[in-house]
Each structure stands twice: as C-alpha cells, then as structure tokens.
Structure 1
C-alpha cells in the first residue's frame, strides 16, 4: 500500500496521520513482581492477561501465558495490537482487556471506525517494514507510529470496505477451522492405527517402551535395523558455485526445509562431490529427510517425504537422510516417526550448549519403531491418504482466500476499486 502523501487519492479521501484518527497506546513492561503464571486454580484471576509481544500472537487474537496484577498499559476489546519490535507490523485483535508490554502498541479507533481501522493498520505493515529496513534492531517508536500516513475514505465507504474484507476474513477462518478439525482427525486415526492396527485384524496386544501398546504380532525394531541413516554432506566454501553448471550438484540446505514442506527457490550448487559422497548423501524417491540440527528444538525431528523437487540433490549436514530397507514402506515409516511418541523421545534426546540443538545418530538408530507386515503398513498409509488429501485441499483453499484478501485489500484501501457502504 502506498502512503506517499503526494499520491492522488479518490475524491472525498484524505491522507492523514494515524495519530490524528486513532489513539496510540505504547506498551510498557510492568514490574516483574506483578507478573505471574496462572493455571486457573485460584478462585480469582490474578489481574489481566499479559501480552509482552508478538510471540503470544495467534491467527487472529493472542493467547496469554502470563498475568499482570498491576498493568501499566492496557488494551481494550476491539483495539488493534501492533508489534513494534521484530517482526514490526504483525497484528492481532484484542478480544478482552489486556496488559501490553513494550513489544506492542494498541491502536484504538472510535467505535464507528474500528472495523476499518483493523484493516488499514494490518495493511500498513508493508510501509512499517520499509521504514525499519536497514536498522540494526528492527523497531519503531511512538513518533513514527503516530505520524504514519494512511488514506482515509468517507465513513460510509470505510464501512463498505470493512464489510467486504471481513467477509473474506470469515471465509479464511472457516477454512482454518476445517483444517484444524481434519488434522485432529488425522492424528486420532494415526494413533489408533499405530497402537491397534487395522480394525478387526488383531486381538492381542503388548506394551513396548516409547511405542506404548502395539499388536502382539508386530515387531518392535530399532530404526537402524530397518533403514540406512546418514547425516548430510559438509563442504568447503570454495566448492560453492554462483549458479548451476555442468557436473555441479544441487544441495538441500536447512533453509530449503520449512514447516510446510520444501522451498526450493534458492538452491545452492557445489562442485567436487565424489561418487562415494553421492552414494551416501544423494536423495532418492524413497528417502525421508529429517531435521537433525536447529536452534529451535521443536524443529529437530521434523520429517519430510522426498519428492520430485529434491530427488537427485544431496542433503546438507544439518539434515539426516533415512532410507528404508526392502520390506518397509516409506510412507508408513514417515507416519510412524511423525507420531507423538517418537517425536517426544526425539525432542527429549536433543543436546547442545550453544543454542543449537542436535540429534544424535546413535540415538536415532536405536529408536524403536512398530513394524507390522508390509501389507498392513501399506493399508495404514492408504487409510490416511484420503484425510491428508482433504487437509491439502483445505490448505490450498485457504491460501487462495489469503491471496484474494491481499489483492482486495490493496485495491480497496487505496481507492483503486470503490465500494459504497449502506
């Protein structure tokens, strides 16, 4: 969104400073003695929910993990919560009174402008990001925020714009609710299949450490007994190339592995990879790729099925390749290792003293996995295919709606497309 005061605006619109049309409440950290955890056991709430910064932000509104008995700065219901520290511009809505810390500001429009205000501040994140580029520490102060130029249409048009954008937001929320519900169904079905087997197939069960209850006829094998496990390749700086060339090898680095899958728009190519290194580290179509080292312990153990985007690449050293032996279905092993019990064991096993958490290959090779006969492995994987396809379809729909929201917001909030309220 352009906020250049010289940019022509539609008739009846004005470029104004945010501080002229909204009250800006900059957050302030209260004394530590007034902040506490609360687990709901006390009869009375110990003050107000305390939101220090954007770490507590959710999809629409924040979730408090602390409470403040004597808040210094308070956001009211309906206020737009704006992150004033990295990432600057992130927004949430206050659904109730909140104590806010110095990482946030509350932007409070009058009642008639509150719905429009949420959208205009949310869209201004791009301008705020531009204002903080080049800063050593990404943050904005009250003066910058109050002087932020925003285009302001007549009140009737504000209401019309808010109605259109709210309608898209509601559709996005419905899609996200469907995704969350379907993911819960997936996890429940996966747990049932990994502990009870295919329905009607088993009548006797046994308990296995880490795995819990499994059918008595299943094997409880160590992962190193059913798959080859290798950490990725290390290389020297002089092997790196500015672009692909004949004989070079593409690399999947930790930055290419995001929570929602592979992102291969920035691929490094290296030279001088030996045939032995290729044999050990090159990704095949039945590989699983696991995050083996990361500063965020929750990322360690994240698992991905290799796809056509990465087959033929080599893995970098922060990643671990798991290649199942014959008789082990790759998709089944992916589901088994991604379930909550192995993931908890992996998280608890990580170590590191410099902020980087590392997963030991020795531990991973000793990790127990439940192994039914191959036909039942394939049945379990197939039983979840439909649920996963539904999740993927819902996520694609939500992404389409988000793109629509961004395009509609740009057009409506700059006056490129006009809408009239009632």
Structure 2
C-alpha cells in the first residue's frame, strides 16, 4: 500500500459502507415495461453504465427485495465486473449488482475511487461460467480515506475536471461522426453525380452505364483448406482464418498475411477487392498481396473496371448486402447475389479520376480520425492521472 498523507487512513469498505448485494425477485414480480425503456433486469443485474448516473428505471413491482438507495454507489459484481455508477433514485437491484452506501464516507468520493479498481475487481473475481466478485471481497476492499472535508474538496475538483474532459471528448466524438458523414457524402456524390435519389427516375451521366459485377469482374468465392494446411503462425500475427473468413478490415489494405501452406485452394490476387460474404457481411478491402481466402471471403478482380473504383463503390453497399443475405445460423451472401449486383460504370479514365479523388479524401479523413482518436485517448489518460493523484493526496 502507498504511504498516505497525514490525516488519511486505510479503511475497508465493510467498515465504512452499508453493503447490499442484489437479489432476483420472485416469480410474481411485475414490471411496467411500457413506461420503462431503461428497465433494470434483476436476474442478470444489467444496467446502463454509459453515464455517471443511472437513467430513470420507473419500475413497478409487487416484490422488491433489495434496494439501492438514492445517491448510493452501484457496483456491478458480475459481467461486466467492476463497472460503477451512482443511483439517481431508489432502484431495485438484481444479483449482478451491489449497493454501497457510505456511512463514514462521501459517496461521490467512493464512486471516483471505485473507478480505479476495475482491474482489481476483475483480478479478484471467480467463476467458470462467468466471473463474479463476492461480498467478502467487496467488504475487505481497502480505500485510502481522508477527513470528510478533504473528501468533499477532492470530489469538487474531480467533478469539475471530469465535466470539462467529458465535454471535450463529446466534441471529438462528434468530430469523428462528422468525418464519417463527410466520407459518406463524398461517396454518394461520386456514384450519384446527378443527385437523383428516386430509383425509378435514377439517370446516369452521359457515357456511364449499368453493369453487373459478374460482367466486369473475376469472382472467386473462398474455400476452406484441407486438414494438412500449415500456417506460419510465429511469423504471422495477422493470420487470415480460413474457416471463419476473418480478416482485418481496420484499414483500406489488408496487413501482410505471411502464410505458409501446402494446400492453397483459392487466392485473392494482389490489388483485388476482397468482400466479406459472411459475418460481418459487406465489409470490403483491397489485398496488398496474393492471399489465401476462406469460405467467408470473396475476391473481385476487375476485368473492365478499376479495382480502386470498385472498392469505393462497394463501401456504399454494406446495407444492400446485409438486406440480401440469407441464413438462420448466420447471414451470408451467395455468388449469384454478388454477380448480379449492379454498379454505375463511367469510362475508365473517369473511374481513375474518381478513385484518385476518393483515395486522397479517404487518406485525409483517416489521418484526422487518428488524430481525434489520439486526443480522446489522451483525455481518458488524463482522467486516470487525476484519479491517481487524488487518492495519493497530490491533488
């Protein structure tokens, strides 16, 4: 344990809090589901932890067994273990939740300290089916406790600081959404230059024509390898998994696969477009090298089309592919659907110009998004730094 400032002391939660473990209701418990979209589920202990305060539960029940009082701290003791909140009203809690009501501690001070203990609670949880923390672990958890006036001073600083940080994060998250909308708008303009959204009246510019993918592409559906397929896993962290068709779609280009195999059945050629035909249906990429593709992937290599132009157009078709996928266990699109998919095709020179423009914009958007995401990460780290200082008496 760290050395505490003068006047501080280590206390266990059992010493300074009323600890109430949640409990499932009996069978005659009735919820007013029509009035309550943010219903708290007793049996699983689920609750919205997206904000500091729980949304209004507005429940109706004939058998409330365990209550978290208004302003008490609510801790998630089952998956997701360690999430923490403050009750904005009296709420019924199920067996996945625990209420901590301070007797000798400011509840907001307790809330902020528990934010630092998520890893601790996860490390000290047990269970095979799902992880959970028990009442003994909770009650024995130690907290560095200053005098009440100092607790209130620290809470005031953290409240104000977190509010400003959260506002900055909110602005950055909106900036990220704006970038997505910018890219979507550019794609829409590129492939619908006449801005005619009425399908029955949709007209292409002069020189453009509708073509099916089967007419202008070599379409190769992936296939699983035989049992003697060998992968060089030591050299390849970004291994493509044949059987599930998983692939890294986080970037425009697939990372180097670096595979070694004695039985490569289906290949997506370098610079061909790779389409995910099973969950997640409609994701699209470009192969940065020859790669083996499993049954969850499809290769589209343009014969009469620029592959980059094809890549950008397919980015607009994710909903279409999902709407046209079939299957009960998981959704998938078949080769017939792919080959019959239509694309508005300008002359090759114009395809290249459009692809070049979108590529430049995509690169610019990507750089900005990385910048915003880094700023968000830094702000979240600032929160952690403030919490560390607060509970070491350095705030």
Shorter-chain TM-score above 0.5: yes
**Which structure dedicates a bigger proportion of its chain to strand?**
1
Which residue of 2 is the match for residue 406 of structure 1?
384
1:12 equivalenced with 2:7 (yes/no): yes
Q: Residues 212 and 340 of structure 2 are in contact (CA less than 8 Å); yes or no, is this contact kept in structure 1?
A: yes
Q: Residues 75 and 106 of structure 1 are in contact (CA less than 8 Å); yes or no, is this contact kept in structure 2?
A: yes
Which residue of 2 is the match for residue 23 of structure 1?
18
Counterparts of residues 382-421 of structure 1 (less than 5 Å): 382-383=360-361, 386-413=364-391, 415=392, 418-420=393-395
SS across alignment from 1:404: helix
SS across alignment from 1:252: coil
Superposition TM-score, scaled by structure 1 size = 0.69
1:69 equivalenced with 2:60 (yes/no): yes
Counterparts of residues 182-331 of structure 1 (less than 5 Å): 182-190=175-183, 192-195=185-188, 197=190, 201-202=193-194, 206-207=198-199, 215-217=203-205, 219-225=209-215, 228-231=219-222, 234=225, 236=227, 239-240=230-231, 243-244=234-235, 251-253=239-241, 271-274=260-263, 277=265, 280-281=267-268, 284=270, 287-288=273-274, 290=276, 292-293=278-279, 300-301=280-281, 303=283, 305=285, 311-312=288-289, 314=291, 317=294, 319-323=296-300, 325=302, 327-328=305-306, 330=308
1:385-415 residue CA offsets vs partner (Å, 9 max, x unmatched): 55554333211101122233334434543x2
Q: Residues 251 and 314 of structure 1 are in contact (CA less than 8 Å); yes or no, is this contact kept in structure 2?
A: no
Instruction: Judge which range, 56-65 or 102-111, deviates more.
Output: 56-65
Ranges in structure 1 where 5+ consecutive residues have no aligned partner: 39-44, 294-299
Which residue of 2 is the match for residue 296 of structure 1?
none
Instruction: Judge which range, 150-159 or 71-80, deviates more.
Output: 71-80
CA 1:352/1:48 → structure 2, altered by over 3 Å: closer, same or farther? closer
1:194-249 residue CA offsets vs partner (Å, 9 max, x unmatched): 555589x52656517xxxx85533655444555545436546477255623xxx89
Q: Residues 76 and 98 of structure 1 are in contact (CA less than 8 Å); yes or no, is this contact kept in structure 2?
A: yes
Q: Residues 67 and 90 of structure 2 are in contact (CA less than 8 Å); yes or no, is this contact kept in structure 1?
A: yes
The structure with the larger Rg is 2
CA 1:133/1:187 → structure 2, altered by over 3 Å: closer, same or farther? same
Return the offset for 1:111. 10
Which residue of 1 is the match for residue 134 of structure 2?
141
CA 1:241/1:305 → structure 2, altered by over 3 Å: closer, same or farther? closer
Return the offset for 1:149. 2.3
Which residue of 1 is the match for residue 50 of structure 2?
59
Distance of 1:166 and 1:123 partners within structure 2:
15
1:35 equivalenced with 2:31 (yes/no): yes
Return the offset for 1:130. 1.1
Distance of 1:75 and 1:259 partners within structure 2:
43
1:346 equivalenced with 2:322 (yes/no): yes
Which residue of 2 is the match for residue 173 of structure 1?
166
1:109-129 residue CA offsets vs partner (Å, 9 max, x unmatched): 469723321221121111111
Distance of 1:61 and 1:226 partners within structure 2:
54
CA 1:270/1:46 → structure 2, altered by over 3 Å: closer, same or farther? closer
Distance of 1:32 and 1:315 partners within structure 2:
56
Q: Residues 245 and 276 of structure 2 are in contact (CA less than 8 Å); yes or no, is this contact kept in structure 1?
A: no
1:14-39 residue CA offsets vs partner (Å, 9 max, x unmatched): 2222233233333334447623543x
Alignment root-mean-square deviation, CA: 4.5
Q: Residues 204 and 344 of structure 2 are in contact (CA less than 8 Å); yes or no, is this contact kept in structure 1?
A: no
CA 1:387/1:328 → structure 2, altered by over 3 Å: closer, same or farther? same
Q: Residues 49 and 66 of structure 1 are in contact (CA less than 8 Å); yes or no, is this contact kept in structure 2?
A: yes
Superposition TM-score, scaled by structure 2 size = 0.73
Q: Residues 229 and 261 of structure 2 are in contact (CA less than 8 Å); yes or no, is this contact kept in structure 1?
A: no
Q: Residues 198 and 379 of structure 1 are in contact (CA less than 8 Å); yes or no, is this contact kept in structure 2?
A: no
If asked which structure has higher relative contact order (CA below 8 Å, sep 6+), I would say: 1
Q: Residues 51 and 64 of structure 1 are in contact (CA less than 8 Å); yes or no, is this contact kept in structure 2?
A: no
Distance of 2:69 and 2:96 partners within structure 1:
17
